Amino acid sequence: MGGARARPRRRPGLPRRPHRRGHDPADDRARGARRDRHRGPRLLERGRRADPDRPARADERRRGRLPPPDHPSRKELRVSASVTTPAVGTTTATSDPASAGAAPYRLSPEHRRVFVGLMLGMLVASVSQTIVGPAMPRIVAELGGIDHYSWVATAAMLVSACTVPVVGKLSDIFGRRGFYLAGIIVFIVGSLICGFSQNFWMLVAGRAVQGLGMGTLMPLSQTIIGDIIPPRQRGKYQGLMGAVFGVTSVAGPLAGGVITDHLGWRYLFFVAVPIGLVAFFVIGRFLHLEHTAREVTIDYAGIATLTVALTSLLLATSLGGTSWAWGSAESIGLYAVGVVALLSFIAIERRAVEPVIPLRLFSSKVFSMANIAAFGVSMVMFGAIIYIPVFAQGVIGVDATNSGLILMPLMVGFIGLGIITGQLITRTGRYLPFMITGVLVMALGIFLLTRLDHTATQTQLTVAMTVLGLGLGMAMQQYALVVQNDVPRRDLGVATATVQFFRNVGSTVGIAVFGTIMTSGLADRIAGHLPAGAQQQMGDGGVSIGSVLDPSALSKLPPVVADAVRQGLAESLHNVFLIGLPILAVVLVATALIPAKPLRETLDHPSEAVSDRAE
């Protein structure tokens, strides 16, 4: 082409020719090295301050492992590389323990306010379970309904148990904020209905509405903590949340007695209204969680069958042995309906597109074992909370007016070790050793309770309660933590609600089973300690249940009869506490079988990070 000579191509392996005559490329390299020695460190440090991951990303990009900076997927990768809390604030925690120790994790100011709001919501929900107890005799005396006394507690328990799993699932689909705010409003409405009640059944209806609010607030409080705090840092905050329950367990009855004496029983319900309004304002102002709406098919059939199953089974368990005999037609009929509804629920959930409780979660050993253990711990805990005061008042003779202080040693241990254990889990990243130790300490506390007889002193009971409380503080709150660490965020609400559900059912079953054990054969045991002819001293009425549990009534009995009552009650409660040991053995095995997984430093589950990268 026009005589132009083609430029010869350089053969591979030969050095590149200088681009101009008389120029040596080595001079340029030497000159560049001198320049880098002077300017390089300053430029490199400036670049690292602006973007610490820039050198690593540049190396990954050269190797073809990372898309270019303007690629659309770079935004998702940058988000998944750090911990970004949703919408209300950003807090970063690295996965390097050393760096985490150098820069302690702290909640953003917005999240601190959210956490305070969650604690207020938990406060109003938990105190409603304890503050009413001392006033119940006065309430029933004014409104009537002594024959249906237990329905005041049963109504709230039933509605709450049915609400927990449903709200947990719906919050995963539609978001948490709206349900939490609605739960506060519903609880306030229920409190107002109770406070203005004109008859007994209006009070029961108000308690049912309160139960709907409690069933929303209690699981979502734990779930929202999981939304804003990474699992590695979550233990200390859940310990504080557990402390709220411990405080209300002691302060609730005390406050209930004072409010009832000075203001009247109706203010027991009104006092929750201002606290609820403050919680509503704080959560509404500062909680803004990112949520992507999606088209779903709500599992109405699953919700209906689950509600029928829970209502039938829990009603039969709560009222069996008290309102009617265990072998009565009512008990058998309710259990039969409950079993059929439960089997129908399982069949429906296996085919549902969006099941209320996804059965696939139970394929995880962490999820299954943690819920089994939570169920057993709740049985023992609430059994102790109910029947330790019975021992204190009926056997030792503690004044009933100070009944709120009886459990103080247990709750002090529960609160103290709960907070300390949460801090240690956050610092070490290990949870199973604390949980196993906690179950063993609980077993020691129950063993000490089984050693008490009618000659026991208040000091011996205090020691046993304290040991039991220490074990509860180490183990109770951690089962929700390990479940939240195991499941992806799309299942966080239903998984947390399932743990709360197993706790609720465990408490109901524990109280019912322990109560049946206590009352079974109690009269025969008391009669077995009566001397000959003592039955005539008691009159025609014999020993009533009131004289067994009321120290003032017990003091009016003849000395030999009062001593027989104490011995018989102590023997019955010995059997109650004794049944806690095999339950804790099952809890210990289930806890030991929980696989130890590292606590994540990120809010997202690893499977979700992989799916984000794939997209």
| Residue 414 exposed, middle or buried by CB count within 10 Å (0-12, 13-18, 19+) | buried
Mean pLDDT of 250-276: 84
186 within domain boundaries: yes
Q: Are residues 489 and 398 in the same domain?
A: yes
What is the mean pLDDT of the segment spanning 188-202?
Answer: 91
pTM for this model (two decimals): 0.75
CA-based angle 549:550:554, to the nearest 5?
100
Cα–Cα distance for residue pair 496/213, rounded to 1 Å: 17
CA angle at residue 518 from 514 to 519, to 5 degrees?
A: 120
For the chain, what percent of residues have pLDDT higher than 90?
22
With a cut of 90, say whether residue 79 has pLDDT above it.
Answer: no
CB-based contact 357:487 (threshold 8 Å): no
**Tokens representing residue 80 in the block:** 């998944």
In a domain, 46, yes or no: no
Residue 275: count other Cβ atoms within 10 Å of its Cβ.
17
310 and 405 in one domain?
A: no
Q: Which amino acid is at 507?
A: S
Does residue 370 contact residue 482 with C-beta atoms inside 8 Å?
A: yes
- Which pLDDT tens digit goes with each residue over 523-571? 788 877 777 666 655 554 555 555 555 556 666 677 777 788 888 888 8
Of 429, 454, 386, which Cα lies nearest the Cα of 129? 386
Cβ pair 610, 385 in contact under 8 A: no
- Mean pLDDT of the region 306-317: 89
CATH of the domain at 573: 1.20.1250.20
pLDDT of residue 297: 81
**Is residue 507 a contact partner of residue 382, using CB atoms and an 8 Å limit?**
yes
- Residue 421 and residue 485 in one domain: yes
CA-to-CA distance for 293 and 288, rounded, in angstroms? 15
Task: Among 310, 326, 353, identify where a domain stops.
Answer: 353
**Residues 137 and 230 both lie in one domain:** yes
Please state, in angstroms and rounded to a whole number, the distance separating the CA atoms of residues 522 and 541. 16
Rounded to whole angstroms, how far apart are CA atoms 575 and 450?
A: 8
> Are 333 and 378 contained in the same domain?
no
What share of the chain in percent tops pLDDT 70?
74
**What does the alpha-carbon distance between residue 156 and residue 128 come to, in Å, rounded to a whole number?**
10
pLDDT of residue 190 exceeding 80: yes
Query: What letter represents residue 315's amino acid?
Result: L
pLDDT of residue 103: 56
Of 268, 291, 314, the position where a domain reaches its end is 291
- Domain-located, residue 41: no
- The residue with tokens 């079953």 is 509
Q: Which of 133-147, 207-221, 331-345, 497-511 has the lowest mean pLDDT?
A: 133-147
Could you tell me if 562 and 397 are in contact, meaning their C-beta atoms sit under 8 angstroms apart?
no
103 in a structural domain: no
Instruction: Please give the Cα distance from 140 to 437 (Å, whole number).
Output: 44
Partners of 324 in beta bridges: 320
Boundary of a domain, candidates 353, 377, 399 = 353
Identify whether residues 287 and 304 lie together within a single domain.
no
pLDDT, residue 136, reads: 75
DSSP state at residue 359 = G
- Considering only 67-81, 139-153, 232-246, 388-402, which range has the smallest mean pLDDT? 67-81
199-227: average pLDDT:
89
pLDDT, the chain, mean: 78
Domains held by the chain: number: 3
Assign 488 a pLDDT band (cuts: 50, 70, 90).
confident
Domain-located, residue 18: no
What is residue 615's three-state secondary structure?
coil
Calculate the dihedral angle through the C-alpha atoms of 111, 116, 122, 124, rounding to the nearest 10 degrees.
-140
Query: Do both 285 and 304 map to the same domain?
Result: no
In DSSP terms, 320 is beta-bridged to 324
In a domain, 85, yes or no: no
Q: 141 and 285: one domain?
A: yes
Residue 538: the pLDDT is: 54
Same domain, 287 and 309: no
- Higher pLDDT: 27 or 234? It is 234
513 and 444 in a common domain: yes
- Higher model confidence: residue 138 or residue 270? 270
Top-confidence range, 21-30, 31-40, 500-509, 597-606? 500-509
CB contact at 8 A, 399 and 505:
no
How long is the chain? 615
User: Rounded to whole angstroms, how far apart are CA atoms 324 and 318?
Assistant: 10
Between CA 135 and CA 261 the distance in angstroms is 9
Do 503 and 556 fall into the same domain? Answer: yes
* Separation of alpha carbons 116 and 114, rounded Å: 5
What pLDDT band is residue 33 in, cutting at 50, 70 and 90?
low
Token output for 122: 């938990």
Return the closest-CA partner of residue 372 out of 499, 205, 287: 499
Whether 123 maps to a domain, the answer reads: yes
- Given pLDDT bands bounded at 50, 70 and 90, which one contains residue 445? very high
- Judge whether 481 lies within some domain: yes
Per-residue confidence (pLDDT) for residue 390, from 0 to 100: 83
CA 246/CA 422 separation, integer angstroms = 15
Same domain, 385 and 336: no
Give the per-residue pLDDT at 81. Answer: 35
| Residue range of the domain that includes 250 | 108-291
Rounded Cα gap, residues 520 and 536, in angstroms = 24
**Cα distance between residue 113 and residue 285, in whole Å:** 9
